[in-house]
Chain A
Amino acid sequence: MNAQLLQLLFSLVAVAAMAGLCAALFGWRDATMPDAGAALGRDIPGFRPGRIAVSGDAKSALIENARDGAIYLAVMRGGDVVTRRLSREVRVSRAGERLTLDLRDFTLKRTRLDLADAAAWETRLKGSA
């Protein structure tokens, strides 16, 4: 067998072994939403959490910055929070209590949130985003 191919094969096995060990030691499942307002507060100078709506699965949330009225989306990725400031470019649709956000974002295209007050958030996002 070609030496380079063998090297690639060994590398693939090593990567799989390291990822497997990491999963065994630290787990594989996504965490649930911690205090997303605090996460935004660390990243945005002057951020003051206003209204917060956490999705039923606790994997995503909408958070308002009480300082300027901007609305942020927070989603869990692994054990970390990823946030986006929602702009007019976001397409918002709703089916009952399920709110769907389509972002023009290569790594975060679509997010669904199950919210008790989904209609109110839909209105806010369509009106003031």
Chain B
Amino acid sequence: MPFDPVTLATPAFVVLVIAEMLFVRFTGRGRFEAKDTLASLAMGLGSVVMGAAFAFIFIGFAKLIQPYALFHIGWSWGAAAACFVLDDLRYYLWHRASHRVRWLWADHVNHHSSQHYNLSTALRQPWGGFLALPGVLFVAPLILLGFPLTMIAFVHGLNLVYQFWIHTESIGRFPRWIESVMNTPSHHRVHHATNARYLDANYAGVFIVWDRMFGTFVEETQEDAPRYGIVGQIASFNPLRIALHGWVSLGSDLIRARSLREFAGYLLAPPGWSPDGSRETSDSIKARWADFEAAQTPAE
């Protein structure tokens, strides 16, 4: 790998978080809270440590399937560009699954658990990726196409670096041609919002075109300003509780499952699924909101 983009960008992350804090303090454009920021930064640090400790799972899986690659693509900037675009599609698919499959959501929920949306939120990363095992399957197509593992890791790092700066309320909107193609702060604010109209939307990493292509794009509106976090907001700034709450919740449901069908439902159905339908999923919340909106609109 030429270099690790995330390691190289880390000092810039620190400088930009501090710059945004000062900008928000003096302009009021955005929100920070010390306890929340400390929790997010601790989550980021813990994620790096846990990622390094359990990297052998990804590496082992990659080495296992690499001999079955269809082609052997060498290192070139053209190949890296193609790998970058395909990896961004991989990210979209993985990200969408992480919101729609409870097993993956148990890990990814950590990133969404802040009621704030600033650059420190970008660093609020999960610790239990090694438990969300199906996640590694999404990278298999790139390996089987024959892209070098170092190239995949490199473009994945670039993708993560790009996603850092879009976690902010300090930037409004870009010209239409940029907003049409690229993931921007406006599009990603929608993704982090709990407003019913915004749930399960804008999964893109770098290119918002994936959401436009696959029907998951929702535009940010001024009338319904995003409110951030998760549907059942967490009530803790303790990084350990933040890291574990999704897994504890899933684990307690799995233990209570009374049949294989219930077990599979809790594990693989969307977050909020329950055997008797007594809980709310994002689909049911959106449906209820749509009914309410329709009832509020006078008939013509």
Interface residues of A (CB under 8 A from B): 8, 11-12, 14-15, 18-19, 21-23, 25-28, 42-43, 45-46, 75, 77-80, 82-84, 105-108
- Cβ 8 A contact of A8, one of B17, B41, B49, B233: B49
Q: Ordered nearest first, which 10 A-B pairs have the shortest CB separation?
A: A108-B235, A45-B292, A23-B34, A19-B38, A107-B236, A107-B234, A82-B235, A80-B115, A22-B34, A15-B41
Bound state CA distance, A43 and B231, in angstroms?
8
List the A side residues contacting B232 at CB < 8 Å: 84
Say whether B289 contacts A45, CB under 8 Å: yes
CB distance from A129 to the nearest CB of B (A): 14
Residues of A within 8 A of B18 (CB): 18, 21
Q: From A108, which residue of chain B is reached at the shortest CB distance? A: B235
Q: A19-B41, A26-B32 are in contact. List 15 more A-B contacts (CB 8 A).
A: A8-B45, A18-B37, A18-B120, A21-B18, A22-B33, A22-B120, A25-B21, A26-B33, A28-B35, A45-B289, A45-B293, A77-B235, A78-B35, A80-B33, A108-B236
Chain B contacts of A80 at CB under 8 A? 33, 115, 229, 233
In the assembled complex, which residues on chain B have CB atoms less than 8 Å from the CB atom of A43? 194, 227
Number of A-B contacts (CB under 8 A): 89
Size of B's binding interface in residues, CB under 8 A: 43
Taking a contact as CB atoms under 8 Å apart, the answer to whether B38 and A78 are in contact is no
Instruction: List residues of chain B with CB under 8 Å of any chain A CB.
Output: 14, 17-18, 21-22, 25, 31-38, 41-42, 45, 48-49, 115, 120, 194-196, 227, 229, 232-237, 241-242, 244-245, 248-249, 288-289, 291-293
CA distance in complex: A45, B25 (Å):
33
Instruction: Report yes or no: B21 in contact with A22, Cβ–Cβ below 8 A.
Output: yes
Cβ of B38 and Cβ of A11 under 8 Å apart?
no
Given contacts A43-B227, A106-B244, contact A82 B237 (CB under 8 A): no
CB distance from A84 to the nearest CB of B (A): 7
Q: A45 CB to closest chain B CB, in angstroms?
A: 4
Kindly report which residue of chain B lies nearest to residue A73, judged by CB atoms.
B235
Cβ distance A47 to chain B, nearest Cβ, rounded Å: 10
A11–B45 CB distance below 8 A: yes
Task: Say yes or no: B244 contacts A78, CB within 8 Å.
Answer: no
